[in-house]
Chains A and B, each alone.
Chain A
Amino acid sequence: NAGVTQTPKFQVLKTGQSMTLQCAQDMNHEYMSWYRQDPGMGLRLIHYSVGAGITDQGEVPNGYNVSRSTTEDFPLRLLSAAPSQTSVYFCASRPGTSGRIYSYNEQFFGPGTRLTVL
């Protein structure tokens, strides 16, 4: 299994540009999430999904859109990039209630995407 994969690893955008950060997992996990990591702020939840076709907002959703058309993929779209969105973005997944109890709560993280908005 590749686990959770993210592309690209690095990206530089100009203010106002749009782009999509890709996230995929091959573990058949129901739950997927997007976080951003900023110095002194820890990880903050942007959006999450509890299954295909179901998404919801996290702590800092403004400026981002998500969709979950398949179990495997959970792309994050930046509609109009702003310098405040310069960050490292992590995608994560975990099994739902059908998983084994000890794996139920563990989140698996992707390697991250480092985004700079000029």
Chain B
Amino acid sequence: AQRVTQPEKLLSVFKGAPVELKCNYSYSGSPELFWYVQYSRQRLQLLLRHISRESIKGFTADLNKGETSFHLKKPFAQEEDSAMYYCALRVTGGGNKLTFGTGTQLKVEL
């Protein structure tokens, strides 16, 4: 069965420092990986997906199939980046099924 691991429950960085939120997955097929973000008191929203190779709000994530990782990175953290971040894996042919990691709370301090 597929699995998504986010090893850090909480990541605290200073404003302007680089950020890396780790995500590893296990899946035998061809994965589709996503990052979702949940700001305080708001609903979850898609941040980015690996297939479109986009940069959203300065965040990027590269799918590394060799290391089975999809780490989220940003060179300079901003206070408004403070939120809960979830890595998610969608399996091929899995209908609407997304498997989420346990989430990492990012706190950006001044």
Interface of A toward B, CB cutoff 8 Å: 4, 31-33, 35, 40-45, 48-50, 56, 58-59, 90, 92, 94, 102, 105-107, 109-112
Contact = CB atoms under 8 A, between A and B. Distances in A.
Contacts of A92: 44, 96
A90 B44 contact: yes
Contacts of B51: 105
Given A42-B102, A42-B103, A105-B49, A48 B43 contact: no
10 contacts: A4-B43, A40-B9, A42-B102, A43-B44, A43-B86, A45-B99, A59-B99, A102-B52, A106-B49, A111-B42
B31 to A, nearest CB: 12
Interface string B31-59: 01010000000111110010110000000
Nearest to A58: B97
Interface residues of B, number: 24
Interface string B80-104: 0000001000100001111111110
B46 A107 contact: yes
A50 B95 contact: yes
A92 B90 CA distance: 14
A103 to B, nearest CB: 10
A42 B96 contact: no
B106 to A, nearest CB: 15
B52 A42 contact: no
B96 A33 contact: yes
Contacts of A44: 100
A111 B42 CA distance: 7
A43 B37 CA distance: 12
A11 B92 CA distance: 36
Contacts of A111: 42-43
Contacts of B103: 42
Q: What are the 5 A-B residue pairs with the smallest beta carbon separation, nearest first?
A: A31-B96, A42-B102, A43-B100, A109-B44, A42-B100
